[in-house]
Structure formats: structure tokens, C-alpha cells
Amino acid sequence: MARVPQEPLPYQDPAITPYYPSTNNGLPSELIPQCIAHLSKMDGIVATAKKEVFRLQAELDEARRQLQHALDEQASCDSLLAPIRRVPSELLSSIFMIVLDCPRLLSTRDVIQIQYLQLVCRKWHDAVNSTHELWAGLEFDVESPRRAFMTPEEKRALLERWFERAGGCGISLKLGGMHRLGMTGVQETMDEELTLRGLLLRPGRRWKSLSFIYPRSSWIKVLLSALEKEATYSHCSWRELEELDIQFRPSQDARSEEIIQLSRLKNLKRLTLSWMSHPFVAHATLQRLHLKGFRLDHGALVHILALLPSLQELELTSPQYTTRHLPPWRPADEANLAKVSVSKFCLSNTNRPLELFQPNFRLPRMQSCRFVTVSPMLWDRGILSGFFNRSPDLQEIDFTESMVPSDMIAETLSATTTSVKRILVDDFVFIAQMRPPPRSKLNGLEVLVAKRPPSEKVLRCMVDFFQLRKEAMGRGEIVGGVVGLHVAQGWPKFMTTRRDWVKRLEEVGARMVLTPYDG
């Protein structure tokens, strides 16, 4: 039903209007001709009103367009006075590098940001193109939907154009989606892989970092074999390569006795291998090794480490070997262990009872040991303390990001005889579960670091523990001095509001410090 106006309008028919609110009674027959005539009149009035509305709407649209043009002109004129317009191109390059945190691997989103910068003005476009560091790294999915219809040659040309703008900078490339190469057929796979090898081995490049996500093991072997056959290493595009990351597929059946040769990469500093089931040999100058899902046995691991005299950092993530069906420990393994130079060790993402902590295995020069997302539910009690005690140079143990429960931390540290200087934990609760000194010694301890402040209950336990430790040191049963206590979150405020506890802890040989390495 049409809306009835509250007040009479000049074109209303007073004879018909009273019938508008009625919903039950029809119009009397004598008024029907008059109603039809009034309806014809209203048709004309409505048509005229619509024309007027259309005219006003067109004028309004035109006014809005004029306003937008004026605003655009105002913004363009105002931008001429913007300080950024007067910035030299060299300084623009520095600004772009800071904003994008370059040089680094750029994602698809980063590439879009670079394109936006190019669109600002000609000066910015030229500055972006001439800033070599912006083009020195790229993440490239070879089989993404955006490149589904590109030929291998077109993909290579795209990458060639990108890295040409890097000038003489060392360049980095992360190739993703390699497991989908040539899914339409064998020939397509061969063409694609051959084209990529040509890009990677092209003389004149200066690869600094390379990462391959889910490549076929056969492709990696052919690529590395081609490197070995390079006539002159001085012209090799990989001669300055510092970082190499190869992530095989977890489900890939890549087991082979054939050794992967990386020994020609003399400048390689960091090597990451995921789901590796091949023996490999790297150059003696390698400093950092990260193995994810490592599938070889302890003998192979020890042999690899013994051939890397410069190796300082070792990280194992989700290792796949366990204590079941271990090969026997051989005299050669013991001899190789003595050559291992690793000083920093990290274990992450595992809950398996690893052979790594069995009685024969050790890292003789390990100074720092860190656990990340490690849940030792299946581990034997005392297995960690034995591993620590076989590392005479151990100085720091970090449980901060682990999932090791406080009671196991307490039991482990109570049985540790190595003089550890720094212990990092999530909280100080473990102290309440430690064996009372001198049964637990913590010889040489200098600082305890936690993420959260202790509760009143834990503080009381800490005072009792350090009181017993101080007495044991006085009797010569424990070697050590004052222990620094540091908490990452809210420590200064805690120290100010708990002055009584600060004093009590100082009396028993524990001092709250503002930085974790205060003397």
C-alpha cells in the first residue's frame, strides 16, 4: 500500500483523498471516472518530477567530478612541495632499502610494494630500478597459478630480468613448488629442470644464497655434478655462495648410498638440509649446519661432523633416528667424535628417545646447548645429565623455549657435574624441586635467567636453596660464587617492589641483576 502523506498536497483531489486510508471499502462508482482522470494527471506530474530529479542528479555528478578534479590538482600541486620530492635519488635508495629491509629474499607481497613505489613518479621509478640491493633476493614459486601458462623459457627470462637489476650484488633465490615441476608429463619436467639448471649455472652470476623447496633428489645430484665439472672454479657462479638450503619432501623416497658432494663450495658458511637420507660431504670451512628430519644413523652423523673442522653450530630439527635397532658403536666412531668441533648445539621439535643422548655420544667441545619445542615424555630419566656431563666445556643450557617439565629440569641439573655458567629457563619453579645442596652442586654457576618473575612461594624456596648452597661452598663441597638472577619480563619493577626479597637473596649469595650477563 502506498504511503499516505501526513499533510495535504496541492495536487490532491479532496473528493478522493478521504478514501486513501480505507482498506475495507472500495471507491463509490460515481467517483471512479474522477479517480481515473486524477490518475492521468498524476502520471504527468510524476514524469515531470523524474525529469527534474535526473537533471539535478546529472548536475550533482558533474559537480562531484569537478570536485575530484580539483582535489587531484590540489594534491598534485601540494606534492610538488613535499620534502620527499627534494630528496636526492641516492638517499631515496637508502630509504627504500630501510623500508623493505633489503637486501633479503622478497616475497610476492614485497614485489607488489616495489611496484607501488615505481608508480609514484619517474624519479622514484628510476631510483627503484637503480637500487641494486632491492633486486638481490627473490622468492619464486616455479609452478604457482600465476605462472601456470608460462613456458620454462619465459620463467627463466623473468628471473634473468629481475637479477640483471641487482648489478654486482650477491644474489639470493628461493625456488618453491619444485615438486610440481612438469606435472603434465616427463618431457615437460626435463625441459623445466634443464632451464632452471641453466639459470643457476650461468657464468657471471654471484649467488650468495640458494634455497630449493621440494626438489627431486636426482635434479639436485645432476646440478651438483655439473658444479663439480666446472673447468675453472674462479668463474663459477656459486663461488661466493654462503648459504644453501635444500628441503626434500618428507615422503620422498630419496634413500641412496651415493654421496652428495658439496665440497667445492669453499665459501659456504651455512648449510640446511631437510629430510636428508643421503650421505654428504661439505667443505671444511662450513661453520653452521642445520639438519631437519635427518634419517642417517649416528655413525654417519659423527663421520660427517668429523670432516668439518670449522663447524661451530649444529641444529637438529625433528631427527628421525631413535634408540631402536641402533648399529653397534665402532672404534672409528669414537675416533671421529674426538674431531668434532661443534660449540653450539640446538635440538628442536622432537619427543623421541634419541640415540643422541646415549652413553657413547658426546659433543666434546660443546659450550652452549639449547632446546626448542622438545617434549621428553619418552626419555629415560638422567639421559640429559649424562649428555651434559660428557661435555666438559659446557657453559650455557637453554630450556627457555623447550617443553621440558620443571621436575625433569630439576632432576637433570641436580645430577649435572659439569661447571655450567648460565642456565636459562621459563621460570624459577624448578629450584623448588632441586635436590638440596650439596647433593645438587651447580658448580661454577654465574647466572640464572627466567622469562617470568617468581612467586612468593618460589622466592622462599630460592632463599632456602641458596642458603644451603652457601653453606656447602663454605665447607668446600661446592665451587662457585654469587649467582646473578635475571627475569626478562618486568624485572626492574619486581626488584623495586620486593626489596626485602632482594636483600634476603643477597644475604645467601644470589643477586638480582638487570642484564643476564652482569658480573
Q: What percent of the chain has pLDDT over 90?
A: 35
* 364 vs 303: CA distance, rounded Å: 15
pLDDT of 250: 78
Helix 456-474 crosses helix 499-507 at what angle (to 10 degrees)? 20
Q: Can you give the residue ranges of every domain in the chain?
A: 88-134, 136-286
pTM of the complete model: 0.76
Q: What is the pLDDT of residues 331-367, one digit of tens each?
A: 888 888 889 999 999 999 887 656 566 777 889 999 9
* 78 vs 59: CA distance, rounded Å: 28
CA-to-CA separations, 204 to 169, 228, 229, 237, in angstroms, rounded: 11, 17, 17, 6
Q: Tell me the three cell numbers of residue 278.
A: 643421503
* 295 vs 353: CA distance, rounded Å: 15
* 24 vs 111: CA distance, rounded Å: 70
Q: What is the pLDDT of residues 420-461, one digit of tens each?
A: 999 999 999 999 999 999 898 889 999 999 999 999 999 999
Q: Residue 259 — pLDDT band, cuts 50, 70, 90?
A: confident
Q: What is the pLDDT of residues 181-206, one digit of tens each?
A: 544 444 445 556 677 788 888 877 88
Q: What is the pLDDT of residues 15-70, one digit of tens each?
A: 888 877 766 567 888 888 888 998 899 999 999 999 999 999 999 999 999 999 99
> Does 234 or 87 have the greater pLDDT score?
87
Per-residue pLDDT at 313 exceeds 90:
yes
Radius of gyration of the chain (CA): 37
Place of cell 578534479: 69
Long-range contacts of 87-91 (CB under 8 A, 24+ apart): 89/123, 89/126, 89/127, 89/130
Averaged over 390-408, what is the pLDDT? 92
Phi-psi region of 373 (alpha: psi -120 to 50; beta: other; left: phi over 0): left
Enclosing H/E stretch for 409: helix 406-414
Averaged over 81-105, what is the pLDDT? 84
